[in-house]
Structure 1
Amino acid sequence: MPNYKLLTPGPLTTSHSVKEEMLCDRCTWDEDYKGITQKIRTQLLELACVQEQDYTAVLMQGSGTFAVESVMTSAISDNDKVLIVTNGAYGERIVKMAHCIGLNYREYRVAYNAYPNEAEIKEMLEEDQAITHLVMVHCETTTGILNPIEMIARVAREYSKTSIIDAMSSFGGMEINIHELGIDYLISSANKCIQGVPGFGFVIAKRDKLLACEGNARSLSLDLFDQWSEMNKDGKWRFTSPTHVVAAFSKAIDELHAEGGISERYRRYQNNNQILRDRLERMGIHTYITAEKQSPIITTFLFPSEDFNFEDFYLYVKERGFVLYPGKLTEVDTFRVGNIGEIYEEDIQTLCDIIEDYMEGCQHA
């Protein structure tokens, strides 16, 4: 199979050494393997800038969505009500979760290219005293918008609400000081900015909040408290864990540190993103999100013309070694380009050369 560069928000291009970690089979009961699990949990807390006496890390089998749903079903009781802030498909997915679980919830929806309004959120909290939890996606990969995590965390603290942040596409790729922000639950996944492979998500939770979750879950396999309780004994997962993925993730964390930590990885991602946006802008391919709201993770681009054929464009780029991402917007035609993973400036420059050749070919056709 061709070894494409994935310019997607995860799964993404991984290093050869991360892939190599999956060549060995491991036993879930083995002490060495359980040691890998505990190593990961400790390192995640370090990356989150929190102390073990205040926070804990729980790993959960499945995609990132499984981890989000584990928090939603476990952290919110029948007596609670959650306000879900949405401006993209992944926030809307959380609304679907709340509906399926049977939670008492309210949605605050804004346009896909807009920030949630602080005054409007405060007004909702003041008029609806039943709300106990606030949920928001940090980086909405629907568009690439980077939502105001500081504002949401501050409002949650001001109104004594439990904060839940879906940081699926941002954690590990930009600094998030969970302790300073006072976030209660932060959720991410193995196959995003830490540059592992798909197979599990993780939750960084305040210990006191997690301890209060016992008995809340409406799911056996997604019970976050029970998963933590078992894992906290000696590193054993409750049910069969993705052993190859766990080993790869441990290696990916080591490589994050070797790169210079989150700050250096952010610098690389930001540089990738800036080059990409600047060069495509010069070709007449404009961004959907304005620069001040743009994350360094993934960028949504508007079709350059009405007759632009994305399928033809996609195949042209893929045949030259790069896989792009279709858009998720309904009101406008877009495509997306991610720049996380083992992607460097030379990769972005090569991609832009390919896109430039394609656009010139279209003009002469």
Structure 2
Amino acid sequence: MKRVSLTPAVFHLPEKVNAIAREYGKQPIVPRGPLLKPILDRVRSKLVSSIGAADSHEAVIFTSAGSGAIAAAMGSCVDERGILIVSNGAYGERQVAFAEQLDLKVVHYALEYGEKPDLEQIEALVQKEGVGALGLVYGATSTCSVNPVNEIGALAHRLNLRFIVDGISAIYVEELDLKEAHIDVLISSVNKGLHAPPGMGFVIVEKSYLNLLAKQKAKIPYFDIGALWKKQASGGHLFTIDPRSLLETEAALDDLEARGGVSARIATYQERTQLLREGYKKLGLRIFEKEGMPLENIGTALYLPEGIEFEALSDLLANWEENDECYEIYSAQGALSDKVFRIFNMGDYDLDTYRRFLHALEVCLNKLSK
């Protein structure tokens, strides 16, 4: 039985990536040995060149999930003036929680989940509070929508703010130009649009800003972006790094390139969402949408039909048996958890997989509606 993951957490990966785990145990790599430098150099280079940012930004890598990269950005890039964080979903709230626990000055611009940020309100708060940085989540996975990163980046640039963007759910699957968006720090992870296991987080940082970060201490030694950058630029790492995750990340980057790069991956995801969203509408499901907020390419948030509970629907799909497949879907988060559920279209699946899922979804909804 193949369990198809329609979640953004863990899903089936390309064979080129899976092969690393099978082979690595035969000849592991010492994290501080001579074989590390060429691998680290290649991965750092490919992470930025794959998104067209090699001339303006550099990558700094951590053995961590994406949340580690959030902690690194908050602990390294927010000075005594503090940060204004735009929050219209669970991951904006996570930025706030991390920054507050680090005893940073935080101005929380809190909106309803999925609501479009107002640039005039942001500017007024910046002027009132005198912060030095602006935090945003680009791909708002709580509602499967995308925030206006270019508009807010232009505002941050005009106000001379450091612009820190959580791009974990957007990089490689949404249009993104770091220079056009004036992004100083892009928070990222390899296990979403890149299709690698969740073992490595990273940040992509504007080059001149890295020189400044290297001259100051961060609040978390393990996630000190400036210190790590200096060490990684010379081919080393301050702490133990996972070489297998590096190799899996490189395999995922090579697979991405072999399939046509970022533009081709975006097109693949858009083809999936078009197929699925047309199917949802035929089934009478209502998509969660807010005015002025485009939908993500990685998935769709849907209102639960009246009288149907998420757990019941999830259990039926998880125990589906046709075609030797079953399906795992995702609940909503926070304020939407009792109203909305989410279906993601990430990973190494073909369109027929999603067609079979739509059939299973129809049968399960009909069964629960009786």
Work out the CA distance in 1 between the residues paired with 2:133 and 2:36.
Answer: 36
* Pairing 1:266–2:266 present: yes
Q: Where in structure 2 are the equivalents of 1:96-107 lying within 5 Å?
A: 96-107=97-108
Q: What is aligned with 2:233? A: 232
Q: Which amino acid aligns with 1:62?
A: S
> Are the equivalent residues in 2 in contact too, given 1:153–1:163 (CA < 8 A)?
yes
Q: What is aligned with 1:9? A: 8
Q: What is aligned with 1:184? A: 184
Question: Once structures 1 and 2 are overlaid, which stretch shifts more, 220-229 or 308-317?
Answer: 308-317
Q: What is aligned with 1:125? A: 126
* Pairing 1:20–2:19 present: yes
Q: Which amino acid aligns with 2:37?
A: K
Work out the CA distance in 2 between the residues paired with 1:191 and 1:344.
Answer: 19
Q: What is aligned with 1:343? A: 349
**Which of 53, 75, 78 is the aligned partner of 1:76?**
78
Q: Where in structure 2 are the equivalents of 1:1-365 lying within 5 Å?
A: 3-23=2-22, 24=24, 25-52=28-55, 54-77=56-79, 79-128=80-129, 130-213=130-213, 214-234=215-235, 236-290=236-290, 293-305=294-306, 307-320=307-320, 321-331=326-336, 332-363=338-369, 365=370
> Are the equivalent residues in 2 in contact too, given 1:76–1:216 (CA < 8 A)?
no
Work out the CA distance in 2 between the residues paired with 1:185 and 1:48.
Answer: 14
Secondary structure at the aligned position of 1:178 is classed as coil
| 1:245 positional shift | 1.8
> Are the equivalent residues in 2 in contact too, given 1:57–1:202 (CA < 8 A)?
yes
| 1:290 positional shift | 4.7
Q: Which amino acid aligns with 1:68?
A: I
Aligned residues: 358
Unpaired segments of 5 or more residues in structure 1? none
Work out the CA distance in 2 between the residues paired with 1:237 and 1:317.
Answer: 44
> Are the equivalent residues in 1 in contact too, given 2:150–2:180 (CA < 8 A)?
no
> Are the equivalent residues in 2 in contact too, given 1:134–1:161 (CA < 8 A)?
yes
Work out the CA distance in 2 between the residues paired with 1:299 and 1:31.
Answer: 45
Work out the CA distance in 2 between the residues paired with 1:198 and 1:126.
Answer: 39
| 1:189 positional shift | 0.1
Secondary structure at the aligned position of 1:97 is classed as helix
> Are the equivalent residues in 2 in contact too, given 1:231–1:237 (CA < 8 A)?
yes
> Are the equivalent residues in 2 in contact too, given 1:82–1:104 (CA < 8 A)?
yes
Work out the CA distance in 2 between the residues paired with 1:311 and 1:105.
Answer: 36
Work out the CA distance in 2 between the residues paired with 1:352 and 1:33.
Answer: 45
Work out the CA distance in 2 between the residues paired with 1:310 and 1:150.
Answer: 35
> Are the equivalent residues in 2 in contact too, given 1:84–1:91 (CA < 8 A)?
yes
Work out the CA distance in 2 between the residues paired with 1:232 and 1:124.
Answer: 37
TM-score by length of 2: 0.92
Work out the CA distance in 1 between the residues paired with 2:111 and 2:310.
Answer: 27
Work out the CA distance in 2 between the residues paired with 1:153 and 1:207.
Answer: 17
| 1:298 positional shift | 2.0
> Are the equivalent residues in 2 in contact too, given 1:12–1:192 (CA < 8 A)?
no
| 1:20 positional shift | 1.1
> Are the equivalent residues in 2 in contact too, given 1:268–1:344 (CA < 8 A)?
no
| 1:44 positional shift | 1.4
Work out the CA distance in 1 between the residues paired with 2:334 and 2:278.
Answer: 22
Question: How far does the alpha carbon of each residue in 1:42-64 deviate from its partner, in whole angstroms, 9 at most, with x for none?
Answer: 11111232234x32110012110
Please report the RMSD computed on the Cα atoms of aligned residues, expressed in angstroms: 1.6
Work out the CA distance in 2 between the residues paired with 1:15 and 1:318.
Answer: 23
Secondary structure at the aligned position of 1:212 is classed as helix
Q: Which amino acid aligns with 1:119?
A: E
Secondary structure at the aligned position of 1:221 is classed as helix
| 1:329 positional shift | 3.8
| 1:28 positional shift | 1.4
> Are the equivalent residues in 1 in contact too, given 2:51–2:262 (CA < 8 A)?
no
> Are the equivalent residues in 2 in contact too, given 1:73–1:216 (CA < 8 A)?
no
> Are the equivalent residues in 2 in contact too, given 1:303–1:333 (CA < 8 A)?
yes
Question: How far does the alpha carbon of each residue in 1:96-153 deviate from its partner, in whole angstroms, 9 at most, with x for none?
Answer: 111100101101111112110111112222333x211010000111111100001111
